[in-house]
Amino acid sequence: MEWTEKRAAGQIVVTLLNGVLKELPHGATVEDLAGSIGRELKKSAIGGRIDGKLVDVYAPIEADASVEVVTPESPEGLAMLRHSTAHLMAQAIKRLFGYEHVSLGVGPVIEGGFYYDVDAPRPIRAEELAEIEAEMANIVKEDLPIRRYMVSRAEAIHLFNEIGDELKLELIRDLPEDATITIYEQGEFIDLCRGPHVPSTCRIKAFKLLSVGAAYWRGDAHNKSLQRIYGTSFPNKRELDEHLAMLEEAKRRDHRRLGRELNMFMFAEEAPGMPFYLPNGLIVRNELENFERSLQRAAGYEEVRTPLMMNQRLWEESGHWDHYHENMYFADVDETKFALKPMNCPGHMLIYKNATHSYRDLPIRLSENGQVHRHELSGTLNGMLRVRTFTQDDAHIFVRPDQIEDEIAGIIELIKQIYGVFGFSYQIELSTRPANSMGSDGLWEAAETALQNVLASLDIPYRLNEGDGAFYGPKIDFHVRDALGRNWQCGTIQLDFQMPEKFDLNYIGEDNQKRRPVVIHRAIFGSVDRFIGILTEHFAGAFPLWLAPVQAKVVPVSDKFAEYAEAVRAKLVEAGLRVDIDLRNEKIGYKIRETQMHKIPYTLVVGKEEVAADAVAVRQYGKGDQGQMRVDDFLAQALTEAHDKTIH
């Protein structure tokens, strides 16, 4: 018998995730549903999904629907918990600094936690975060119900006028006059928010405020600067403690500190956001670029170089003027406006157009380690991870339409090969047409379909990221996972039907007629500079032998063995290793510890026994004493390790 036939009056039917059907009274809440399944589920429920829409746990189910109970352990539940913790923090700040003196900006969930932008009567100091946490704990103990209300725009304006929150009033006034607005109330605290939220402050179990920063209101440098307070929240103390331990380890691995200590790179006030490469850093960079070059040559790439600066007409033709000019740097030359290139693509279009091509010539693979400049707000700069000038390991591949899928498959294999050398696993994301795109619907549909087809044919799982493609085409992004489990977007493959149209690119087809090529934009490291920052943190500065700026250091026990130490060093250097020597009149233990501090892969100690045996006493970073080895044996081992790019 169908449910509709035996249903009692006023009853609704709920379909659970596992397909089980449950009959409930009309208007029963998600919490009621959880209780009908089990007492423990009711205790842990903090929200729900009704026909896919996230709702509060006390939201009524008004009709037959598919319903899922959300708990803090799920991704949606964790985000809800963190969003509610942001409100908890805002309430504590209002209490401590005075409701009439604090105005609230926005408080979203971000990866790893949340933040809230606040306009307080004075700067909130880092040492005051503990005081805010204590007040948050008091509010948790008060077990304040968190409830959702719908009001008109006029009612919201009246309410926040009474509260005296100018930032919220600005947000409300930007909404249409007929808008229905959602607010949340917990005790005396009211906030403008879409929600959903946990049902009570007592459901927030484990939280920590992390830092205080600054941000412009609504991301606009012309607006006032607000204080941005970061925090995190977890379902229990164990998970919070594990996360805090990971953050401490991340501090230990911070590439900015390691970059200074290892003499790799520096920054100066004279060029904010623009890295200076020191000798050791340039070694790492050259090794990375040469490694990639060797694989690209084998894969049929030809390397080119394009100018740093080209005139405004080119950027108008490429579409960057309309879609990207706010992020570009300009200069007037001979009464003509020029721009520093933010991307290498237009220069490669000009190179392709410089010659006539046959269908037999394609694919044409042009690569360039090209330096680009992009204007980033000063508050967003972050060591090597967010800079204003960087080098892209760019490539543009000009293909016939029938070559698209095979060529992309080849690029994916190349990316897989390179990431594997560093021990990176990765996830793939497919990003589709953004709001500020250029080009016709038909070309976009063809490009998106081509990328979906190649991922399907290779049986590669991916996440869809709708609306986040480049303005000229959809893209596949590669997110690598580092030693701390953090994800970094590095590689990208972008399919572009637009620029060949913009630049009127052609090849001669089999029928002797002009045909339009398709362009595949490709980067593997993404930004070489950023990739170096990621690698520095991934390896905690202890680079594998092939990348290490100094691969070995020879340390004589005393100056009596200096001549032998020099001979060992000379032999290793002649064979191609990067080797230093420590001839200072210091104790051997001190010199070994210092070598370890600089994270040099091998320390080669030489004394009386080593001289007699034509050997070295080998200490390996992270593994300690490896015993005595003949110099030739160590050399063979080290050369093999460097050639194979071994990771210990």
Per-residue pLDDT at 14 exceeds 80: yes
- Residue 2 has what pLDDT? 39
Which is the catalytic residue, given 117, 191, 393, 394? Answer: 394
Domain extent, residue 83, equals: 76-252
**Residue 246 and residue 279 in one domain:** no
10 Å Cβ neighbour count for 424? 20
84 in the same domain as 28: no
Same domain, 435 and 288: yes
Tell me the three state secondary structure of residue 246.
helix
Question: In the annotation, is 357 catalytic?
Answer: no
Q: Quote the tokens at residue 134.
A: 């204590």
Q: Considering its fold, how many domains does the chain have in total?
A: 4
Residues 95-129: pLDDT tens digits? 999 888 999 999 999 989 999 999 998 999 999 99
| Cα–Cα separations (whole angstroms), residue 452 to 314, 410, 420, 443, 474 | 31, 15, 24, 14, 10
Does 388 lie in the same domain as 245? no
6 part of the active site: no
Are residues 441 and 294 located together in one domain of the fold? Answer: yes
Same domain, 202 and 97: yes
User: What band does 220 get if pLDDT is binned at 50, 70 and 90?
Assistant: confident
Domain membership flag for residue 202: yes
Which of 54, 70, 86 lies at the terminal end of a domain, its last residue?
A: 70
Residue 323 lies in a domain: no
Q: Is the dihedral of CA 366, 371, 375, 381 positive or negative?
A: positive
Instruction: State both tokens at 174.
Output: 């930007």
Q: Which of 498, 514, 538 marks a domain boundary?
A: 538
540 has pLDDT over 90: yes
108 and 61 in a common domain: no
CATH code (residue 149): 3.30.980.10
Instruction: Find out whether the peptide bond into 363 is cis, omega within 30 degrees of 0.
Output: yes
The alpha-carbon radius of gyration of the chain (Å, integer) is 30
Mean pLDDT of 32-54: 92
Alpha helices (H) along 391-512: 404-421, 441-457, 498-502
Question: Choosing from 433, 475, 530, 578, which is the catalytic residue?
Answer: 475
Active site residue 222: no
Residues 6+ apart with CB under 8 A from 259: 265, 266, 281, 383, 384, 533, 536
Beta bridge partners of 369: 393
CA–chain centroid gap for 537, Å, is 14
The active-site residue out of 521, 538, 578, 619 is 521
CATH label of the domain that carries residue 460: 3.30.930.10
- Give percent of the chain above pLDDT 90: 71
Which tens digit of pLDDT belongs to each residue from 400-448?
988 998 999 999 999 999 999 999 999 999 888 888 777 777 878 888 8
Q: Is 312 a catalytic residue?
A: no
The better pLDDT of the pair 41, 324 is held by 41
Long-range own/partner contacts, residues 130-134 (CB < 8 A, 24 or more apart)? 130/209, 131/96, 132/89, 132/92, 132/93, 132/96, 132/209, 132/229, 133/92, 133/207, 133/208, 133/209
394 in catalytic set: yes
Annotated catalytic residue within 186, 227, 296, 392:
392
Q: Where are the alpha helices (DSSP H) in 374-438?
A: 404-421
Q: What is the 3-state secondary structure (H, E, C) of 575-620?
A: CCCCEEECCCCCCHHHHHHHHHHCCCCEEEEECHHHHHHCEEEEEE
Residue 1 has pLDDT above 50, yes or no: no
Rounded to whole angstroms, how far apart are CA atoms 291 and 645? 10
Catalytic residue among 348, 396, 400, 433: 396
User: What one-letter code names the amino acid at 114?
Assistant: F
Higher pLDDT, 325 or 82: 82
Active-site annotation holds for 11? no
CA torsion sign for 493, 497, 501, 507 is: positive
Highest mean pLDDT among 214-218, 493-497, 537-541: 537-541
CATH number at residue 13: 3.10.20.30
- Whether residue 475 is found in the same domain as residue 529: yes
Q: How far apart are the first and last CA of the chain?
A: 65
Annotation says 433 is catalytic: no
Confidence check: pLDDT of 146 > 80: yes
